[in-house]
Amino acid sequence: MLLVFLVHLVVSYQISIAFPATFGRYDLVAKENDDGTTRFFVVGDWGGLPVSPFDTPSEVAVADAMGKLGVKLNTTFQLALGDNFYYDGVQSANDSRFQNTFEHVFSATSLQTPWYVLAGNHDHRGNVSAEIEYGKTSKRWVFPDYFYSFSLWQGDQQKKLIDFVMIDTVLLCGGDSLSDWDHRPLEGPANEVVAEAYWQWIEGQLRQSTAPYLIVSGHFPVYSIAEHGPTQCLIDRLRPMLHQYHVTAYLCGHDHNLQHLANDMDGVHMNYFVIGAANFIDPSQEHAQDVPADALKFFWAGSKVYGGFAMVEVNTTHMSLSFIDHSEQTLYQAVMTPRS
């Protein structure tokens, strides 16, 4: 009831930030390989350049590697973790950046599958609603709202495998301007009433999930050792929920490298993955002392030219997340088991 009240409150005050009347939920039927495993890619901070050629060598190399692996491994879909268009997002649903930075780069046949998209801070410097609008005409760009959820089912839709919760960390925490680059804490959401309603929605999604695996994806990290470091807003508010509801993993971008961090809270183990290396590479580790002791399990920023991404493989017994570079080489793999 409080969520409904807050929605009405937002509307009555005509707050400028778009707030959805409904939250989307979508179901995806998995393509199972002969080994009974479903595979999908995760890519973050992939958004090219605002000037010709509208891409970077890293983005092109990552797209090429994803396309080749997608054929070999029969992947099902992609998660895109924000900063979809550098440096100032897009202006309209007809913006040429959709073609120049996305369609013409990730053009492999194997990548003509759904792209589940969320917004990063660079997208918010432009028009995020235009990115949402683009999904109404695109055959593969799935971005129905700032926050949404969907589920992955096995082939006969009799058994749910993963629940996904896609969130907008800018609306939750702020940081849509350059202030989030100069190593200061984010100043908080642009509208606290909107943010609070979204926080309640997130908790509701986590509470009701019964899937063996539960993945939350946003743009800002909870924990990161790199340039931007941890996001205090998410540590304070999201992290306790992730542990309370036994979330399998939190996926994010923002820092331009690949990281795996893990941490326990109240006896519950939690995995945090930073996957932001598809367009630029940054080797900074300046926040190494700002994460829990022994939390960092893996860090990669090995190539200043060619980037990396992640692939998830999941079945009823385990889920693995692999970091992969532009040459299709597996750099690291973490294995997770179904939630108890």
Annotated binding site for Fe cation: 45, 83, 86, 121, 219, 254, 256
What residue numbers does the annotated binding site cover? 45, 83, 86, 121, 219, 254, 256
Could you give the 3-state DSSP secondary structure of residue 100? helix
H or E element, residue 8? helix 2-12
Exposure string over 309-330, b if 16+ CB within 10 A, otherwise e: bbbbbbbeeebebbbbbbeeee
Q: Which two tokens stand for residue 254?
A: 């923002």
Q: How many CB atoms are located within 10 Å of the residue 203 CB?
A: 17
How far, in Å, CA of 225 to CA of 236, rounded?
Answer: 17
Could you give the 3-state DSSP secondary structure of residue 87? coil
Q: Sign (positive/negative) of CA torsion 249, 255, 257, 262?
A: negative
Question: How far, in whole angstroms, is CA 63 from its chain's centroid?
Answer: 17
Find out whether 104 and 70 touch, Cβ atoms under 8 Å.
no
How far, in Å, CA of 211 to CA of 265, rounded?
Answer: 21
Could you give the 3-state DSSP secondary structure of residue 269? strand
Q: Which two tokens stand for residue 241?
A: 């929920």
List of residues 6+ apart from 263 with CB closer than 8 A: 223, 269, 270, 272, 292, 295
Q: What is the DSSP string of 104-125?
A: TTS--GGG-S-EEE---HHHHT
Whole-Å CA distances, 263 to 44, 96, 211, 321, 325: 22, 42, 22, 17, 25
How far, in Å, CA of 295 to CA of 100, rounded?
Answer: 39
